[in-house]
A and B are shown apart, each in its own frame.
Chain A
Amino acid sequence: QQQVKQSPQSLIVQKGGISIINCAYENTAFDYFPWYQQFPGKGPALLIAIRPDVSEKKEGRFTISFNKSAKQFSLHIMDSQPGDSATYFCAASTNTGNQFYFGTGTSLTVIP
């Protein structure tokens, strides 16, 4: 059973546009929600992370929106650039921290 459900599977955005990727979870014990970016042949790299005590976190062009009551969180990439073309994974973990549950990934393509 997929603990974290991610959508869409793929996304095509024009340069300068906003990319939005959504994730949903069921386990209310999750208390840490990171987003990772992965380029072909590389390991996932941490982009930004949030804890459920805040509803939004922004770092540069990347923003996480978190809705605790709906058990949903999303990644917004503002002013999307061709260099942002990669696969993005959401993840979740409980406070024991010993297992990250990953979504199935979103392949983002930013068209120049």
Chain B
Amino acid sequence: ETGVTQSPTHLIKTRGQQVTLRCSSQSGHNTVSWYQQALGQGPQFIFQYYREEENGRGNFPPRFSGLQFPNYSSELNVNALELDDSALYLCASSLVQVETDTQYFGPGTRLTVL
């Protein structure tokens, strides 16, 4: 177990709705990254938060947004849900120091958009 937790485990929404996913980082980690993993694919980077600021963003539209809180927990918000947003959403925490450190993943939230 990595110590990274995510909630909820599963979620079903309809097209056009909004959703908020939550992530609690591993103790001592100051950075959270969010990934989208479609069925049968590798995780795709959405964005990263470091010290409550966005620190890099992948090729995702602005309706994907996030927050990081002072305790380093994080939220991923998706507005105007589309069918293609159905995926496993993963958060990963890491400790950014001098050089790249590994990212530890949570179990994910399975989002289904109908």
Contact = CB atoms under 8 A, between A and B. Distances in A.
- Whether A and B are associated in the same complex: the answer reads yes
Interface of A: 6, 31-32, 34, 36, 41-46, 49, 89, 91, 93-105
18 contacts: A32-B99, A32-B102, A42-B108, A43-B4, A43-B90, A43-B105, A44-B90, A45-B2, A46-B104, A94-B100, A95-B100, A96-B100, A97-B100, A98-B50, A99-B56, A100-B92, A101-B45, A104-B42
A98 B40 contact: no
Contact of A98 (B55, B99, B105): B55
A44 B56 contact: no
Contacts of B41: 104-105
Given A44-B90, A105-B40, A100 B45 contact: yes
Given A44-B43, A104-B42, A97 B104 contact: no
A42 B107 contact: yes
Contacts, number: 69
B42 A89 contact: yes
Interface string B21-59: 000000000010101000011111100101000011010
Contact of B106 (A43, A89, A93): A43
Given A32-B99, A45-B105, 6 more contacts: A31-B99, A41-B107, A97-B94, A98-B31, A99-B56, A105-B40
Contacts of B106: 43
